[in-house]
Chains A and B, each alone.
Chain A
């Protein structure tokens, strides 16, 4: 079946610009996560949605970052006034159950590589 998809696969933008990154989770998965991965590092948590609401946004680095999931399926990560330090791979994952389930498996998309010039 279809896995998690992310678009675009690559995004190059200039410092100060606004970008949107899209995530299509696996159909039926109620939980959706965003992570950010810098070169040579493991993924770092940004935000978690349960349904339409952001249940945990403690990983968002600052108020330039915002994410929505208006219909409980597709999610968009929005970054305002991009900075060179925002350059990274942005990963999306989804899971069937609540993220609080300790055995819940997360399924990851291929990521969007964001480059801020």
Chain B
């Protein structure tokens, strides 16, 4: 599986936008970029995914670099409920998800 690199932790003030980066320099042309997050004491939950174009849904936006070697998950207004570990995952067609260690987001009231 192609690997991703994320910062171990980030902080954000409540009500401010958050940009969570992910590097995936070995991405192949058919890899989809998936983001999941894991709230404390819960299982992971799907956030968003994309291939080449930027994507928006009710939870977040995904900005994908033109060369696809990096992407950014954008939370437009962080709330305390967004405090979680965010995982950037390349879906290579394998059946399983390879999670890595993710970015722990702390939201400061």
- Measured CA separation A107–B87 after assembly (Å): 15
- Measured CA separation A62–B101 after assembly (Å): 23
Cβ of B87 and Cβ of A55 under 8 Å apart?
no
Cβ of A110 and Cβ of B43 under 8 Å apart?
yes
Cβ of A102 and Cβ of B46 under 8 Å apart?
no
Smallest CB gap from A111: residue in B: B43
Cβ of B46 and Cβ of A33 under 8 Å apart?
no
Cβ of A42 and Cβ of B96 under 8 Å apart?
no
- Measured CA separation A55–B95 after assembly (Å): 9
Q: Please, how many residues of chain A have a CB less than 8 angstroms from a CB on the other chain?
A: 29
Question: Could you say which residues of chain B place their CB within 8 Å of the CB of A45?
Answer: 96-98
Cβ of A107 and Cβ of B46 under 8 Å apart?
yes
Smallest CB gap from A105: residue in B: B46
- Measured CA separation A44–B89 after assembly (Å): 13
Q: Is B91 an interface residue (CB 8 A)?
A: yes
Specify which of A4, A100, A111 is in contact with B93 (CB 8 Å cutoff): A100
- Measured CA separation A86–B3 after assembly (Å): 26
CB distance from B36 to the nearest CB of A (A): 8
Question: Could you say which residues of chain A place their CB within 8 Å of the CB of B99?
Answer: 35, 42-44
Specify which of A31, A59, A103, A109 is in contact with B32 (CB 8 Å cutoff): A103
- Measured CA separation A103–B55 after assembly (Å): 13
Q: A residues bordering B, Cβ < 8 Å? A: 4, 31, 33, 35, 40-45, 48, 55-56, 59, 91, 93, 98-100, 102-111
Q: B residues bordering A, Cβ < 8 Å? A: 30-32, 41-46, 49, 85, 87, 91-102
Q: Which 6 A-B pairs have the closest CB atoms?
A: A108-B43, A42-B99, A99-B95, A45-B96, A48-B95, A102-B32
Given A45-B98, A106-B97, 17 additional A-B pairs, CB 8 A = A4-B43, A31-B95, A33-B95, A40-B101, A42-B101, A44-B99, A59-B96, A93-B44, A99-B95, A100-B93, A102-B30, A102-B92, A105-B46, A106-B44, A106-B46, A107-B46, A111-B42
